[in-house]
Amino acid sequence: MSQATPSIAPDQKSMEDIVALCKRRGFVYPASEIYGGINGFWDYGPLGTALKNNIRDWWWRQTVECPPIGPDGEPLAIVGLDSAIIQNPKTWEASGHVGGFNDPMQTCHQCKKLFRADHVSSMLREAKWAQSLYEATDGLQHPSEECAAAAEQWAKKQGKKLAPGIEESHKDLKVLSPQIVLEVKTAIEDPLFEGSHTCCPNCGGSLTKPRAFNLMFESHAGAIQSEDNKVYLRPETAQGIFLNYKNVLDTMRVKMPFGIAQIGKSFRNEVTPRNFIFRSREFEQMEMEWFCAPDDAPKWYDFWKHERMRWWESLGIEKSNLRFRDHDDDELAHYSKMCVDVEYMYPFTSPGFGELEGVAHRGSFDLTQHQTHSGTKMEYFDQERQLAAKAEGKSKDEIDKLSKYIPNVIEPASGLTRAVLVLLCEAYTPDESRASKLVMKFKPRFAPIKAAVFPLVNKDGMPEVAHNLYKTLRNQHTVQMDAKQSIGKRYARMDEAGTPYCFTIDGDSLTDQTVTVRHRDTQAQERINLDKVPAFLDEHIKN
């Protein structure tokens, strides 16, 4: 047996190489590329679409069709939904998105770029100009003369000028004040520095004061474009679920606790879309709202936190690349009582982690808001609790309080397109020993192509046998047949696509009815009977 290609750490993977592979092999393309692209939008190519659908189907299967077993040993009740992207705009007033879905933003007076105020410090630390200024003044104390002289010398070399105050920025010059030198030094030396945020990470110019910027895309429903028919593209799939909570309750014979799940597109006019498909303006979410009695909510929060981590591990992600991060009180969203993120170590965050999913305790915020704004009662009458309270001899007031409530909600909310990014990063494995120099080690269940069928040469009866095998396998699985180029080049293409198995028909196949199976991860080859191939594939791609 050959050696398996070893997995490598995220910091040894280059995002540039991953993005290039995605384009080359049809995973992800820049949207509107022939018109120069459009910032924050991406198109999923044939392999990317298949990968995304495989993750989507797994989430749906494990959430709606075969939900987890609950703490009492019984399967949970979760139903599916597909609500409209555009809802009555009152939805977003009630949810708080019209008033509160804002990022404080700052614009640079000089280069006119826009920044999220809370990102300025970290972007400053990443800015090349700021780092080289820091190196030039490293160890020197501001406002000592020594530091000012070092900064001045550095600025001269860069074609920048040192100004006495940032207000004196000149439109043609990149002007750095002693205050900026100090801000750069503090930002780089203290990663927790929030700073005065006056310094532009792009050019060093001065920034405006933070101003609110709403992230929802607006449009108009109907022929006339006025304030009266303004609508919004949904920024989260969750609200469609809350709007249908009553409908589901009344039509589906569900009782507390239960969940409603939805997968679909969401839109946010992100100010700084970045890191490939990590933060885009159009993306897909997989969200589930778990409705429960208020005093059960902490128990379910804990349950879903661990259940979601187990699900991410089921995608074949290394445990060491995943972690939980509890939100501090001051970073909780307006609706949230508690929130924990499942984070992944992306190549661009390594050795740090970045968000993949949030599990939030939303309390009764959303249903209460929709009750207030729509006048529709969202209260639930819990007969089981009423009977239990009566049996315990509780007072009428206590029984009423326990059995009539607006449910609390625990929400595991993840990004489908972000999950695609995670699997692309996780699978990407450089390997100099291969013709492709890399292999995409997807867990077989998620691989866009499950198997390839190759005739060794395109003659002597081999293509016919290969074609028959291909026609049989395609009934059950996504398979490709490829008869062009050398066998080495065909393996290389399949390594880049992450195809776990290749079946080759050669001269011997015609006489002894066997084929060669090549295993992607080890490059090992074995012979199996032609008629055993379908069962072999069924068995192996379950993993």
Residues of this chain, 306-365, that bind ligand GAP according to CB under 6 A: 355-358
* Residue 148 or 332 with smaller CB distance to ligand GAP: 332
Residue nearest to ligand GAP as judged by C-beta position: 415
* Residue 412 or 444 with smaller CB distance to ligand GAP: 412
* Residue 418 or 450 with smaller CB distance to ligand GAP: 418
What type of residue is 295? D
Shortest distance (Å) from residue 276 CB to ligand GAP: 10
* Residue 120 or 340 with smaller CB distance to ligand GAP: 340
Size of the site for ligand GAP (CB under 6 A): 19
Q: With beta carbons less than 8 A apart as the criterion, state whether 505 and 466 touch.
A: yes
Q: Is 207 in the site for ligand GAP (CB under 6 A)?
A: no
Shortest distance (Å) from residue 411 CB to ligand GAP: 6
Shortest distance (Å) from residue 251 CB to ligand GAP: 24
Q: Helix, strand, or coil here: 249?
A: helix
Q: With beta carbons less than 8 A apart as the criterion, state whether 263 and 56 touch.
A: yes
Q: Which of 185, 279, 493, 520 touches ligand GAP by CB under 6 A?
A: 279
338/333 Cα distance (integer angstroms) = 9
Among 44-52, 149-157, 311-319, 414-422, which window interacts with ligand GAP (CB under 6 A)? 414-422
* Residue 414 or 509 with smaller CB distance to ligand GAP: 414
End-to-end CA distance of the chain: 20
312/165 Cα distance (integer angstroms) = 50
Residue carrying structure tokens 């198997």: 451
216/39 Cα distance (integer angstroms) = 16
73/491 Cα distance (integer angstroms) = 46
Q: Which of 236, 343, 495, 521 touches ligand GAP by CB under 6 A?
A: 236
Q: Helix, strand, or coil here: 384?
A: helix
Residue carrying structure tokens 């494990």: 62
**CB-count exposure of residue 74 (10 Å: 0-12, 13-18, 19+):** exposed
Q: Which of 417, 436, 480, 523 touches ligand GAP by CB under 6 A?
A: 417
Q: Can you read off the two tokens belonging to residue 230?
A: 């303004």
Q: Which of 121, 169, 285, 509 touches ligand GAP by CB under 6 A?
A: 285
* Residue 308 or 441 with smaller CB distance to ligand GAP: 308
Among 174-182, 254-262, 412-420, 524-532, which window interacts with ligand GAP (CB under 6 A)? 412-420
Alpha-helix residue ranges (DSSP H) falling in 96-231: 97-100, 120-126, 128-137, 145-158, 178-189
Q: With beta carbons less than 8 A apart as the criterion, state whether 114 and 173 touch.
A: no
Shortest distance (Å) from residue 282 CB to ligand GAP: 8
Q: Can you read off the two tokens belonging to residue 93?
A: 């007033």
Q: Is 150 in the site for ligand GAP (CB under 6 A)?
A: no
* Residue 235 or 500 with smaller CB distance to ligand GAP: 235
Q: With beta carbons less than 8 A apart as the criterion, state whether 59 and 423 touch.
A: no
Q: With beta carbons less than 8 A apart as the criterion, state whether 237 and 287 touch.
A: yes
* Residue 236 or 431 with smaller CB distance to ligand GAP: 236
* Residue 10 or 358 with smaller CB distance to ligand GAP: 358
Q: Which of 287, 426, 482, 521 touches ligand GAP by CB under 6 A?
A: 287
Q: Which of 283, 312, 348, 365 touches ligand GAP by CB under 6 A?
A: 283
Among 97-105, 220-228, 279-287, 376-384, which window interacts with ligand GAP (CB under 6 A)? 279-287
* Residue 184 or 271 with smaller CB distance to ligand GAP: 271
What type of residue is 438? L
Q: Is 369 in the site for ligand GAP (CB under 6 A)?
A: no
Shortest distance (Å) from residue 491 CB to ligand GAP: 34
31/23 Cα distance (integer angstroms) = 11
Among 57-65, 102-110, 157-165, 281-289, which window interacts with ligand GAP (CB under 6 A)? 281-289
- Beta-carbon contacts of 464 under 8 Å, excluding residues fewer than 6 positions away, are none
Q: With beta carbons less than 8 A apart as the criterion, state whether 382 and 388 touch.
A: no
**CB-count exposure of residue 378 (10 Å: 0-12, 13-18, 19+):** buried
Q: Is 289 in the site for ligand GAP (CB under 6 A)?
A: no
538/232 Cα distance (integer angstroms) = 45
Q: Which of 177, 206, 280, 364 touches ligand GAP by CB under 6 A?
A: 280
474/494 Cα distance (integer angstroms) = 17
Residues of this chain, 427-446, that bind ligand GAP according to CB under 6 A: none
Q: How many CA atoms lie within 13 Å of 306's alpha carbon, on the beta-carbon side? A: 8
Q: Which of 259, 415, 455, 498 touches ligand GAP by CB under 6 A?
A: 415
Q: What are the C-alpha distances in Å from 266 to residues 15, 198, 287, 294?
A: 25, 33, 11, 29
Beta bridge partners of 213: 103
Shortest distance (Å) from residue 128 CB to ligand GAP: 25
Residue carrying structure tokens 């079946």: 503
Q: With beta carbons less than 8 A apart as the criterion, state whether 210 and 117 touch.
A: yes
* Residue 241 or 438 with smaller CB distance to ligand GAP: 241
Among 187-195, 406-414, 455-463, 532-540, which window interacts with ligand GAP (CB under 6 A)? 406-414
* Residue 334 or 390 with smaller CB distance to ligand GAP: 334
Determine how β-strand 28-30 pairs with β-strand 42-44.
Answer: antiparallel
Q: Which of 78, 133, 176, 238 touches ligand GAP by CB under 6 A?
A: 238
Interface with ligand GAP (CB under 6 A)? 236, 238, 268, 270, 279-280, 283, 285, 287, 355-358, 411, 413-415, 417-418
